[in-house]
A and B are shown apart, each in its own frame.
Chain A
Amino acid sequence: MSSGLVFAAAGAVLFAMGLAGIVLIGHLLRRILAFNVMGSGAFLILVGLAQRAGGADPVPQAMVLTGIVVAVASTALALALARRLHRLTGRTTLSATDSDPE
């Protein structure tokens, strides 16, 4: 197992952890963090898998650099929306009545 594959496997575990976090956690701030963990997992898989045979591959590295910047932007937008929701309703979770009756 090359070091690239170890990175990719760690990325897969991070991705699954983030996914479970998004499903299980109600608080929006922690859900945004879980989304970022998931994204980091995807980046690790991309970079790790590409260099499993040896040398680094500049193409996925450039893609991941693009992805990181987009992730920052989407995180900021998500935070803005979460703050707006908090200011308007005082809640930090999404309404349970829309899709998830309990």
Chain B
Amino acid sequence: MIPLLKRVAVILAAASFAGALVVAMLDLPAPTVHLPAAVEANMAASGVAHPVTAVLLNFRGYDTLLEVGVLLLALLGVLAVTGVRAAPRAVAPAEPAKRMLARLLAPLMMLVAVYLLWAGAIQPGGAFQAGAVLAAAAVLLHLTGILPGWGAPGPRLRVSLAAGFLIFLAVAGALLARGALLAYPPAQAGMLILLIEAGLMVSLGLILAGLFLLLSRDSGDEA
């Protein structure tokens, strides 16, 4: 156990750290660069009408590119840690009413995901939210015993998992020929962003679902 003295010292240190942070934030001068205005000024060239999507996939596209890489790495890490097991176990089937509900909800969730992807251009939404809904549908199907946990991913699944990152990378590489990484030509920007987001939605949905379904295939208790 942690001695009382250490416990008190850590809590006091954390409290004073929080206090110092708050005081520093109160003293913070107004920002010299007004980013919302800069975003607003360049919205016309971004290819989409929603500022967050424009920042995410156009102005700061390389952040998103690397983020998808990080997600893929995390999935590889989970695969490496859990080991490859050939026969995934299915969860015990749920009651018929729950199974029925899951079967009804899954296609609706796919519809919502595609809507979110499309809506991302003009209002809150986008590939990440769409991918999260897809992953939630997979988890729902898994928990009701319809979809078994993942074993070793086959070639088709591997390609789908990496497709979002690869499409993004291909677009970035192709645009590099024009001079800068991910500097879309304004006329095609909307099209390219939709292409990237569609790839991202599928891959993100599968990666997020995979993080759950790979961890779920072994209970962790058995040797």
The answer to whether B10 touches A24 (Cβ under 8 A) is yes
Asked if A73 CB lies within 8 Å of chain B CBs, one says: yes
With known contacts A62-B56, A73-B211, A83-B220, A15–B21 Cβ distance under 8 A: yes
Assembly CA distance A49 to B24 (angstroms): 11
B68 closest partner in A (C-beta): A69
- Measured in the bound complex, the distance between the Cα atoms of B17 and A12 in whole Å is 9
Segment 47-102 of A: residues with Cβ below 8 Å from B: 49-50, 52-53, 55-59, 61-63, 65-66, 69-70, 72-74, 76-77, 79-81, 83-84, 86-87, 102
- Interface membership of A20, Cβ < 8 A: yes
Tell me which residues from 116 to 156 in chain B have a Cβ below 8 Å from any Cβ of chain A.
128
Residues 25-57 (chain B) with a chain A CB within 8 angstroms: 25-26, 28, 30-31, 35-36, 39, 51-52, 54-56
In this complex, what residue of B is CB-closest to A59?
A: B35
Identify which of A17, A62, A70, A72 contacts B52 (C-beta below 8 A): A62
A17→B204 CA distance, assembly (Å): 31
Known contacts A16-B21, A19-B14, A83-B215: A70-B70 contact under CB 8 Å? yes
In the complex the two chains form, is A69's CB within 8 Å of B128's CB? yes
Query: B18 on the interface (CB 8 Å rule)?
Result: yes
Name which residue of chain B comes closest to A68, CB basis.
B128
Interchain CA distance A87-B14 in the complex, whole Å: 33
Using C-beta atoms within 8 Å of the partner chain, give the interface range for chain B.
35 or more
Closest B residue, CB atoms, query A56: B36
Q: How far is the CA of A5 from the CA of B25 in the complex (A)?
A: 8
B184 to chain A, nearest CB (A): 16
Say yes or no: is A32 at the interface (Cβ < 8 Å to chain B): no
Complex contacts, B220 vs chain A, CB 8 Å: 83, 86-87
From A16, A55, A80, B14 is in contact (CB under 8 Å) with: A16
Total inter-chain residue pairs, C-beta < 8 Å: 122
Q: Which residues of A contact B56 (CB under 8 A)?
A: 62, 65-66
From B7, B11, B28, B74, contact of A74 by CB (8 A): B74
Contact assessment for A57 and B36 in the assembled complex, using a CB-CB cutoff below 8 Å: yes
B78 interface residue (CB < 8 Å to A)? yes
A2 to chain B, nearest CB (A): 11
Contact with B along A22-33 (1 / 0, CB 8 A): 011010000000
- With both beta carbons as reference points, the residue of chain B lying nearest to A66 in the complex is identified as B67
**Most chain-B CB neighbours within 10 Å: which of A26, A59, A83?**
A59
- The answer to whether residues A84 and B35 also contact, given A58-B52, A66-B56, A76-B74 and a CB cut-off of 8 A, is no
Q: Which residue of B lies closest to A87 (CB)?
A: B220
A66 to B65, CA, bound (A): 10
B71 adjacent to chain A (CB < 8 Å): yes
Does A59 contact B74, Cβ atoms closer than 8 Å?
no
Bound CA span A5–B28, Å = 11
Q: B18, A16: Cβ atoms under 8 Å?
A: yes
